[in-house]
Amino acid sequence: MIAGVDEAGRGALVGNVIAAAVILPASYELPDLTDSKKLSARQREALYAAITAQAVAWSAAAATPAEIDTLNIHHATLLAMQRALAALNPPPSQALIDGKFTPTLAIPARAIVGGDASEACIAAASIIAKVTRDREMLALEARYPGYGFATHKGYGTQAHLAALARLGATPEHRRSYAPVRAVVAQGTLF
């Protein structure tokens, strides 16, 4: 009952940071399973369906832009990880976390740098987190047209920064991030 945990959206300027937790069974059929960053959107979607169908348990949880602005991205990410692990049913007996840090948990946890490339359960969590966040960005694109969220997924690309300057900050933008803070200081709000 080992859960893999990973996040998506840590460096984005807008939206939630998403953490996912996955407990894989002893045997599974996920032949292309790897770090989500090494997969195309189509491959991630296919693996998302396969992971959610085969996992013993899986969950995705968020920390909001307001929580990110209040806590900072590091602590908000750890909070999202705690929430994802708490939502697993059955609960895990251990957690493997991608990265350098582990959230405070009641179970043993180990941080593994590059874990999404070396541990199947973390790779599965990376896919669940990335697909969940990408879907949220598609929803934000529909809600706030003109920003290009469907394309850049909320990261600080030139197109996003130009849209931010032109259209202002949405309520979903992270106010503590420098490019957004500068736009808000000028009074430019969606």
Residues forming the annotated binding site for a divalent metal cation? Answer: 6-7, 98
- How many C-beta atoms lie closer than 10 Å to residue 1's C-beta? 13
Q: Output the known binding site.
A: 6-7, 98
Report the C-alpha gap between 10 and 29 in whole angstroms: 29
End-to-end CA distance of the chain: 45
Q: At what angle do helices 158-167 and 178-185 cross, to 10 degrees?
A: 20
Q: Residue type for 168, please?
A: G
CA distances from 57 to 21, 63, 112, 120 (A): 8, 20, 21, 14
How buried is residue 42: exposed, middle or buried, by Cβ count under 10 Å (0-12/13-18/19+)? exposed
